[in-house]
Amino acid sequence: MRLRPRAAFPLHRHSLPQVLVDAVLVAAAVILAYRLRFDTDIPPKFEDLLWATIGPTVGMSLVTFTVFGMYQKWWRYTGQRDYTRIIQAVGVSTLLMAVYAIVFHPVTVGSGRGETTLSVAPGVLAFFFLIALFLVGGVRFVAHAVYERPIRGFRAKADARRILIVGAGDGGRLVLREIMRNPELGLNPVGFVDDDPLKRRQRVDGVRVLGTTAELAEVLDETEPDEVTIAIPSAPGTLRAKVVKACRDRGIPVRTMPTVFELLQGGPNVVKQVREIQVEDVLGREPVRMDVDRVGRYLEGRVVMVTGAGGSIGSELCRQIARVAPRRIVLVDHAEDNLFTIQRELEDDRHVHPSTLATVLADCKEGERMREVFAAQRPAVVFHAAAYKHVGLMEMNPVEAVRNNALATRLMAQVAGEFGVERFLLVSTDKAVQPATVMGASKALAEFAVEEAGERHPATRYAAVRFGNVLGSSGSVVPIFRRQIARGGPITITDERMQRYFMTIPEAVQLIIRAGDLGEGGEVFVLDMGEPVKIVDLARAMIELSGLEADKDIAIEIVGRRAGEKLDEALFNPYEHVLPTPAEKISRAERARLDPGAVAEMFDQIQLLVLEGDAAALAAKVAEFSLLRGPSRVS
């Protein structure tokens, strides 16, 4: 059965009231344009032209507004980009109005030698553009202004919890306004603290800034709040850690506003998104910030496929790609539950229109099935994030690790080349560097497969992106430590000297999207992961964030390293040269190119061993493959 691509028109039943209002406004703009141009005394010929063109003009305008995506969100969420689209859409509507009049309703004015054939008076077009722009844009501006209007007469409940807000900027105002809009939350804002000393003693929507963050301890002692909320989405980990320590010393609960990434993905009620402090918030590394709308512009209006769409990285890729207005996102996953979850989240929570999503239940290891999907969806860009990643599990299942991570990647890269995909990006890992485990070796093979495909299909821009651990992913130590803390410990660590690079999932994904625009053919891009973090320090931070003490409430046990486990991970192989790229926080691993024929021959041998299920011979062959470039520690 062949798949059918979904319709691309972002219009559904919830848009109907907006469409009806716009229809009335466009019709009013046409009538007013004629009346203003002729000072209410419209000549009969132009009066006929008015009524002959008003219907088609309204219809063409509504279609244009739909194509420009003006019905993809509620008016109260209208932003700067939306106003730019309105200007463009009204301009196109004006042009269509003129073309329609020229072709179907020319008007003859004058007589004899002075006779002239006109379509529509130029003044009418100018007035229509200005009036339609004012009405269509104005109704959205008013809806947004009404929704954001100041809250008057707010009175907190007598038993409301007293809350101190850290951050008197846009984030703090957003939290304050949501508290005032929703008195049922039972919160009473007692004041702000901010890192800007110039804001001290000022009032923000009627609430005073009591001091600076440097004076937080004194403010806490004076106000004695019931809880503290950090309302600085871009706050560094050092500031969050300082606030957490000051509050913990006084037994005051502290919560945080969502990060910038979470705010962009979440619903409009920010207070309901305020959450407990997590270890990602206090690691101390400076977060990577990038304008995804700008760096991901190459995805706008394109069909983008994400494999492993229900996984940790794949689902975040889908969320961020949806922000740059692709024509369609093709979600591919072989896990039904994961695929269903990300589809519902995008549609229900992220307000992605169903017409821009295609959910495909398929396995990347099946060549015939994937060719069906590519033929039906015709993706222009592919992000290949489907992979097995649990190191210990892959050690026990080496044949499946190689089949899924290496052979499936090679298949996907080949199919992408066959169907003329413009860009193909592999999500790789630092474990592919001098691999010491089956999982790492399988990802190193995946990088080789992408390089080989780049040589065979030069029209497709292939690349791989390599990075370290991501906090909160299903393969991270963070969920494991959380479960161990929840059951009272102990936290188990293999070696107290062990350290790893860490990055949050949204940070990694925005850099992956940026790297997708850099590849020319077979490159490996490496993300700047900052400084490595000791695993034992990570464990202690998580215990403290739980309100407990390490070695007293929760024990930390050293259990010894597993086979193939390294004390330190590296991001580059010894035979690779580190080269800069135009993108901040992204480097390129320069290395000698391999002979595509040798790579193909080696992959054929590996595929045969996978089919035979010979794990021992497969491990030896994978190690031999790794020696094509440099030494490997796979055993």
Q: Tell me which of 20-29, 264-273, 293-302, 372-381 is least confident.
A: 264-273
* pLDDT confidence of residue 424: 96
pLDDT in tens, 345-375: 998 877 888 889 999 999 999 999 999 999 9
* pLDDT confidence of residue 131: 93
Three-state DSSP state, 28: helix
For residues 302 and 123, the model is more confident at 302
Contact 194, 170 (CB under 8 A): no
Does the structure show a pLDDT above 50 at 243? yes
Confidence at 409, pLDDT banded by 50, 70, 90: very high
Mean pLDDT in residue range 60-80: 81
Highest-confidence range of 171-180, 250-259, 454-463, by mean pLDDT?
A: 454-463
* pLDDT confidence of residue 107: 61
**Same fold: 161-277 with 293-469+502-529+570-626:** yes
Does the structure show a pLDDT above 90 at 264? no
| Radius of gyration for the alpha carbons in the chain, expressed in angstroms and rounded | 30
Place of tokens 């959450």: 275
Q: How far are the Cα atoms of 54, 61, 145, 290 from residue 66, in angstroms, in the given order?
A: 18, 9, 23, 29
Biggest CA–CA distance in the chain, Å, is 104
Does the structure show a pLDDT above 90 at 105? no
Mean residue pLDDT of the chain comes to 82
Does the structure show a pLDDT above 90 at 384? yes
pLDDT in tens, 470-502: 776 666 777 788 888 888 888 888 888 888 877
Place of tokens 């929570």: 349
* pLDDT confidence of residue 22: 92
* pLDDT confidence of residue 275: 61
Q: How far apart are CA 565 and CA 560, in angstroms?
A: 10
Could you tell me the residue ranges of all domains in the chain? 13-147, 161-277, 293-469+502-529+570-626
DSSP-assigned letters across all residues of 239-288: HHHHHHHHHHHTT--EEEPPPHHHHHHS-S-SGGG-EE--GGGSS-PPPP
Q: Tell me which of 24-28, 257-261, 607-611 is least confident.
A: 257-261
* pLDDT confidence of residue 18: 87
Q: How far apart are CA 127 and CA 345, in angstroms?
A: 43
* pLDDT confidence of residue 3: 39
Q: How far apart are CA 38 and CA 44, in angstroms?
A: 11
Mean pLDDT in residue range 504-523: 85
* pLDDT confidence of residue 151: 55
* pLDDT confidence of residue 287: 58
Of all helices (H) and strands (E), which one includes residue 320?
A: helix 312-322
Q: Tell me which of 120-134, 251-265, 606-620 is least confident.
A: 251-265
User: The tokens of 546 are what?
Assistant: 């739980």
pLDDT in tens, 286-320: 556 666 767 788 999 999 999 999 998 999 999 99
The CATH fold assigned to 161-277 is Rossmann fold (3.40.50)
Q: How far apart are CA 211 and CA 209, in angstroms?
A: 6
Q: How far apart are CA 246 and CA 621, in angstroms?
A: 56
pLDDT in tens, 423-436: 999 999 888 888 88
* pLDDT confidence of residue 269: 47
Contact partners, residue 523, CB within 8 Å, separation at least 6: 462, 463, 464, 588, 589
Confidence at 1, pLDDT banded by 50, 70, 90: very low
Does the structure show a pLDDT above 70 at 12? no
76-87 core/surface letters (b: 16 or more CB in 10 A; e: else)? eebeeebeebbe
Q: What is the pTM of this model?
A: 0.65
Contact partners, residue 120, CB within 8 Å, separation at least 6: 46, 49, 53, 97, 98, 101, 102, 107
Q: Tell me which of 451-455, 614-618, 625-629 is least confident.
A: 625-629
The CATH fold assigned to 293-469+502-529+570-626 is Rossmann fold (3.40.50)
Confidence at 9, pLDDT banded by 50, 70, 90: very low
